[in-house]
Amino acid sequence: MSFVLRGIAAPRPLAIAHRGGALLGPENSAEAFARARAAGAEMVETDLRLSADDALVCLHDPDLRRLAGDPHLVAETELARLRAALPALLTLEEAIAASAPIGLLLDLKLADPAVLPRILATVAAAGAMQRVLLGLRMLDLIAAARALSQEIAILALVPEPDSCERARGLGADWFRFWQGEATAARIAAARALGLRSVVMVGQPREAAAAGYPPFPVGRIDAEGIGRVLALAPDAVMLDDPRQLLAARSVTALSSS
């Protein structure tokens, strides 16, 4: 059955495989997507950047240093060279195909709204509008995307956790909270505005900050999963979706 993002009838919270399932296979790769899908994830997340020759590619970092030991910037490297360094690299078109039939969250790492029409046209041409969630990191990008399409679902990835009302007013459908900032009150406030909530586990820092989970982005332990489930978000994003799926099953059994 194809995944339909709006009006979905699925166990909550939905399991979103961060970077395609970075603990299941090479991050942002078709292999990770397939393993996340086989594990039962409802959605995979991947990142979008532009190469030097304007290919939309699924890479998280601005350069190739971490993944390939190459200091070159993605934006200054042509697609052929990126593929030579990272053979599993996906383009947007390939990511849409590889993720089917489950949901696909696109985390746009670009600030220029000029790229939005192309992304939307690619998603539409693939017949994937009903299963793609467009993640945007700036409020003005949310407004620009909504002006271009009423059909695409938009996730606000903005840094301020109390900007739900502004994001909703500009056209967002979903709102991301970092685990260390997620509270029952914030999630309830988002829901009251008509926003669905996504909790991103771990923290956005290399060194743990006081009050935040002691894990890097995408990572979490069993205790942390339990605390996140208690907040009742609509989705959780993590490197290994099996952690959430197992905890979700236990919760379902205990409440039946």
Asked whether residue 111 is assigned to any structural domain, the reply reads yes
Range of the domain at 112: 14-62+90-255
Flag whether 216 is in a domain: yes
Tell me if 114 is assigned to some domain: yes
Q: What is the mean pLDDT of residues 31-52?
A: 98
Quote the percentage of the chain above a pLDDT of 90: 88
Give the CATH number for residue 124.
3.20.20.190
Q: What is the mean pLDDT of residues 121-130?
A: 98
Q: Tell me, what's the pLDDT at 5?
A: 61
For residue 101, is it within any domain?
A: yes
Residues in the chain: 256
Strands, E assignment, the chain: 14-17, 43-50, 56-57, 63-64, 70-73, 103-108, 132-136, 153-156, 174-178, 196-200, 235-238
In this prediction, residue 209 carries a pLDDT of 76
Query: What domain count does the chain have?
Result: 1
Query: Which pTM was predicted?
Result: 0.95
